[in-house]
Amino acid sequence: MLVGKGGDYVTAKASAEETAGSYTVYEVLSSPGFGPPLHRHAWQECFYVLEGEFDFSFVEGGELRTVRAIPGTCFTIPAGAPHGFRNALAEGSRMLVIDQPVGVERMFDVHGVEVEAPGAEPAQEPLDPSRLAEILPRYGIELVEPRRLRGAERAARRALGCVVRRPARRARPRRGRSDVERRAMARIDEIVDGIYRIATPIEIPGGAFTFNQFLIDDERPALIHTGMHGLYDGVRDAVGEVLDPARLAYVTLLHFEADECGGMDRFLEAAPDSTLACSALSVDLNLSGWDYRGRVEGHRDGEVIDLGRRKLRFLETPHVHHWDSMMLFEETTRSLFPSDLFIQPGDQPPVVSEDLGSEMCAFYREMGIFAHEMPVREVVDRVESLDPAWVHGMHGGSLRREAVPGYVRALRDEPFAFDGKLLGRSLDGDG
Ligand SMILES: [Fe+2]
Ligand SMILES: [Fe+2]
């Protein structure tokens, strides 16, 4: 049936009658530009985009956000949470809408007009969309003024927590960029609820290699390592697919090196209220003698940054690559951010389940990034006792708990320390 002139074609896939009133499933084909204004209701709702693109509005942390939803995106809207959507394309866009318990069906029954197939002309005159504001409240759908979200209502909204899951999306290269920048395309994928991996594959001697940053979308969003200075545009654009980079509250670096913090000045410029959070040693050894002008916090082992839902605990791991090296452990998802430990060479997918432990050790020997095995193996014991559900390395893909033992075994049993080679170049015979 068609709901609203130039509006949504709605096909019941599971009606209230068929589910004894417990839920409904609709396939919706929205006409270009059509969609309901911001509203809320007492039932919960889930939207899954099948085809085309929608601009989807919802409330997060007391603020109204609009994101572009592509096929595979799923929005879970709790009961009472304001939301709205609009077909963003000049052609039809399709999605599945699941209401639980039954909600909007009564309104469709009364105001929808039958059509032969989605997109077909209706026999009767459909509802004029200008009457929606008058009609919707009769069916338990309250329209919400965006400005009413501010002020006193903010705190109440904060508790609602809409969930958005977005499929892998590869950022498109933009015209007018240099070859290097065009090659440096960042992709962003949500790995765990609200934790995104931003990955840029770069050719290095021996093949492709990914440089990853991690974005934690929270009340106080954090970016874990910035990437090199030259990657800034790609990384910032990837962050911008999830949230406004000006909202970043923390930029963290786990040791002082270009792929950890080369973009720190530029992220600071875009988010003037952000804080650079790193190890106490990174501050004492490096930042205090640099010309960095932003706010800096140096952390010691066990200190925690509270992002809202997520809690980032610092682990001091000296000489696991650098004097000032740290790792981060996100306590609520049990996610470890080990920086350069658990590397996998190659252009890896967002999640890796393969055991590339031996390849990792061979890569470390080739690059010469660890002076000695001993401090690394002590940290490996510590990582094992932490029992992380996820390991999000800076190079390669994220590892689920079940993939970690293969890498732990390799780090315990195989040599990986400096063996006379630096970035693949043998020092034998030098000097
Ligand atoms: Fe490093
Ligand atoms: Fe690195």
- Centre of ligand 1 to C-alpha 393, Å, is 11
- Centre of ligand 1 to C-alpha 419, Å, is 18
Q: Which ligand is nearest to the CA of 395?
A: 2
- Which pLDDT does position 171 carry in this prediction? 37
- Centre of ligand 2 to C-alpha 368, Å, is 13
Which residue, among 90, 99, 93, has the nearest Cα to 70 in the 3D structure? 93
Q: Which ligand is nearest to the CA of 343?
A: 2
What is the fold, at CATH topology level, of the domain defined by 2-165? Jelly Rolls (2.60.120)
Q: Which ligand is nearest to the CA of 396?
A: 2
Exposure string over 78-117, b if 16+ CB within 10 A, otherwise e: eeebbbbbbbbeeebbbbebbbeebbbbebbeebbeebee
Which tokens in the block code for residue 74?
């799923």
Q: Which ligand is nearest to the CA of 317?
A: 1
Distance CA(64)–CA(414), nearest Å, equals 51
Distance CA(91)–CA(29), nearest Å, equals 10
Long-range contacts of 386-389 (CB under 8 A, 24+ apart): 386/329, 386/334, 386/336, 387/334, 388/329, 388/334, 388/335, 388/336, 389/192, 389/333, 389/334, 389/335
Dihedral angle at the C-alpha atoms of 147, 149, 151, 153, nearest 10 degrees? 150
Distance CA(380)–CA(394), nearest Å, equals 16
- Which pLDDT does position 176 carry in this prediction? 41
H/E stretch holding 412 reads helix 404-413
Each residue's pLDDT tens digit in the chain (431 positions)?
A: 877 777 788 888 998 888 888 899 999 998 888 888 888 888 899 999 999 888 888 877 667 777 778 888 888 888 888 888 988 887 889 999 999 988 778 788 888 888 888 888 888 888 887 777 788 888 888 888 765 554 434 433 333 344 555 554 433 333 344 433 434 578 999 999 999 999 999 887 777 899 999 999 999 999 999 999 999 999 999 999 999 999 999 999 999 999 999 999 999 899 989 999 999 999 999 988 888 888 999 999 999 999 999 999 999 999 999 999 999 999 999 999 999 999 999 989 999 999 999 999 999 999 999 999 999 999 999 999 999 999 999 999 999 999 999 999 999 999 999 999 998 899 875 54
What is the fold, at CATH topology level, of the domain defined by 173-426? Metallo-beta-lactamase; Chain A (3.60.15)
- Centre of ligand 1 to C-alpha 224, Å, is 13
pTM beyond cutoff 0.85: no
173-426 matches 2-165 in CATH topology = no
Q: Which ligand is nearest to the CA of 204?
A: 2
* Rg value, the chain, Cα: 25
- Centre of ligand 1 to C-alpha 409, Å, is 22
DSSP 203-235: EETTEEEEEEEEEE-SSS-EEE----GGGHHHH
Q: Is 239 exposed, middle or buried (0-12, 13-18, 19+ CB in 10 A)?
A: buried
| Peptide bond preceding 272 in cis form (omega within 30 of 0) | no
Which residue, among 314, 311, 288, 291, has the nearest Cα to 301 in the 3D structure? 314
Q: Which ligand is nearest to the CA of 257?
A: 1
- Centre of ligand 1 to C-alpha 229, Å, is 15
- Centre of ligand 1 to C-alpha 259, Å, is 7
- Centre of ligand 2 to C-alpha 260, Å, is 6
DSSP 268-286: HHH-TT-EEEEEHHHHHHT
In the chain, where the domains are located: 2-165, 173-426
- Centre of ligand 1 to C-alpha 131, Å, is 60
- Centre of ligand 1 to C-alpha 308, Å, is 28
- Centre of ligand 1 to C-alpha 178, Å, is 26
Q: Which residue shows structure tokens 């010469």?
A: 368
- Centre of ligand 2 to C-alpha 338, Å, is 10
Q: How many CB atoms lie within 10 A of CB 308?
A: 15
Q: Which ligand is nearest to the CA of 256?
A: 1
- Centre of ligand 2 to C-alpha 319, Å, is 14
- The protein residues having their C-beta less than 5 angstroms from ligand 1 (an ion) are 257, 340
- Which pLDDT does position 144 carry in this prediction? 82
Q: Which ligand is nearest to the CA of 394?
A: 2
Q: Which ligand is nearest to the CA of 325?
A: 1
- Centre of ligand 1 to C-alpha 261, Å, is 10
Edge to edge, the sheet with strand 39-40 lists 63-69, 54-60, 83-87, 39-40, 142-143
Which tokens in the block code for residue 274?
């952000």
Q: Which ligand is nearest to the CA of 259?
A: 2
Which tokens in the block code for residue 232?
């800034």
User: 16 vs 11, 45, 108, CA distance in Å?
Assistant: 13, 14, 12
Distance CA(110)–CA(99), nearest Å, equals 18
